[in-house]
Amino acid sequence: MTRLIRSFLIILLTAFLSTGINRANEPVIPVKEGEHAEKFDAGKFVIEHVSDSYEWHIATFGETHISIPLPIILYSSNQGWNFFMSSKFHHGHETYKNFRIEHEGKNEGKIVELNLEGNVVGLPIDLSITKTVAGIFVSVIVLLLIFLNIAKSAKRRVNQAPAGMQNFFEPIILFVRDDIARPAIGEKKFEKFMPFLLTVFFFILINNLLGLVPIFPFGANVTGNIAVTLVLAVFTFFITTFSTNKHYWKEIYNPDVPWWLKFPVPLMPIVELTGVLTKPFVLMIRLFANMLAGHLIVTVFVSLIFIFARLFGVEGGFGISVVSVLFSVFMLLLDILVSFVQAYVFTFLSAMYFGMASPDHH
């Protein structure tokens, strides 16, 4: 049912996106100060909200942008290392130290390096603390605050009933241990994977939930960023690969199938090897797509208000706002559920892969 609703909404969304992109491709987009604020572009609005950026945009009043500047870290062969705050770009409208945020073309959204004549000469190596990275920092601080605190109280209250925050998180930790790790990995080996599984579970969960909070310093689309899910999946992949035993590799290179599936064309080994890579890939895509879709849909419902306001006047905007707000609230509640489900799914599948990496028999 959820999937149905979601796929429907995604279709809806693609329609919106394509209109946004079409408009972007139109030649008449002279981005001048003051002008772009008046015309509401739903596609751009939605995309800007979920995509990474060099500054943390909070609000726009008329022509004034309020945003938190973030550090830009660049390395180019011409200029070496460069550190400065993103406020130097003045929301992307100005060039600073021969760097500029590109707004169109194939490098759209990236920082490019210019020569003295103002032509693009290349892309610097960009290790900037973007909105996503800042969001990761925030969530990590929350994560550390919570769990170091719990660890402290766990150490203090030896053999006593849990209290406070410990009381709240212990059932979740026990859930990860007894309902995810233990059945998926097996009684003998699950303990050494527990730190990773718990970290991944709570990292995803807290990022998902903080991503739903629309107030600074939360609300960054962290788990809906493919680079983040890629790193998580890479961790799962490497831990799986490093905890394999010979049965695992035998299943891949010499599975128990009829010989003609292995010789002369090693069909099954190829399929199995593909499976090894697909597993983390699917982990990456699933989390990324689910969280991105959640963010997109909520933003789309909000932008509906402005679209209707433009099409049918202010009354139209007000009229649709009721529906939009209701749908947004519904989607947010759904996203809270999805946050838990995705954290669970990622952790559970990781645990399954760890368990499959060192099968006991066969």
Partner 1 sequence: MGFVTPDYGTIFWMLIIFGIVLFILKKFAWVPILKALKDREKSISDALNTAEKARKEVAGLKASNDQIIAEARREKDIILKEARDIKDKIVAGAKIQANAETLKSIENAKQQIIAEKSAAINEIKQQVAELSVMIAEIIIRKQLENPEDQERLVEDLLKDLKLK
Terminal Cα-to-Cα distance of the chain (whole angstroms): 38
d(CA 312, CA 347): 47
Stretch that binds partner 1, among 2-10, 142-150, 326-334, 342-350 (CB under 8 A): 142-150
10 lines the binding site for partner 1 (CB under 8 A): no
Tokens of 133: 């990275």
At position 241, the amino acid (one-letter code) is T
d(CA 156, CA 143): 20
136 lines the binding site for partner 1 (CB under 8 A): yes
230 lines the binding site for partner 1 (CB under 8 A): yes
> How near is the Cβ of 179 to partner 1 at its closest, in Å?
14
CA Rg value for the chain: 24
Give the total of residues touching partner 1 (CB under 8 A).
Answer: 48
CA 81 → CA 75, 87, 99, 126, 323, distances in Å? 4, 18, 12, 10, 50
At position 226, the amino acid (one-letter code) is I
* Residue 138 near residue 217 (C-beta atoms within 8 A): yes
Stretch that binds partner 1, among 139-147, 265-273, 312-320, 350-358 (CB under 8 A): 139-147
Nearer to partner 1, 212 or 292 (CB): 292
> How near is the Cβ of 267 to partner 1 at its closest, in Å?
30
Site for partner 1, residues 158 to 177, rule: CB under 8 A: 158-160, 170, 173-174, 177
In 10 A of CB 184, how many CB atoms?
A: 20
d(CA 234, CA 239): 8
198 lines the binding site for partner 1 (CB under 8 A): yes
205 lines the binding site for partner 1 (CB under 8 A): no
CA 48 → CA 27, 176, 299, 306, 352, distances in Å? 20, 35, 10, 16, 36
> How near is the Cβ of 128 to partner 1 at its closest, in Å?
6
11 lines the binding site for partner 1 (CB under 8 A): no
Q: How many CA atoms within 13 Å lie on the side-chain side of 193?
A: 37
Stretch that binds partner 1, among 21-29, 113-121, 225-233, 313-321 (CB under 8 A): 225-233
At position 272, the amino acid (one-letter code) is E
91 lines the binding site for partner 1 (CB under 8 A): no
Instruction: Indicate which single residue of 120, 227, 282, 326 sits in contact with partner 1 (rule: CB under 8 A).
Output: 227
Residues contributing to the site for partner 1 (CB under 8 A): 50-52, 109-110, 126-130, 132-133, 136-137, 140, 143-144, 147-148, 150-151, 154-155, 157-160, 170, 173-174, 177, 191, 194-196, 198-199, 203, 225-228, 230-232, 234-235, 292
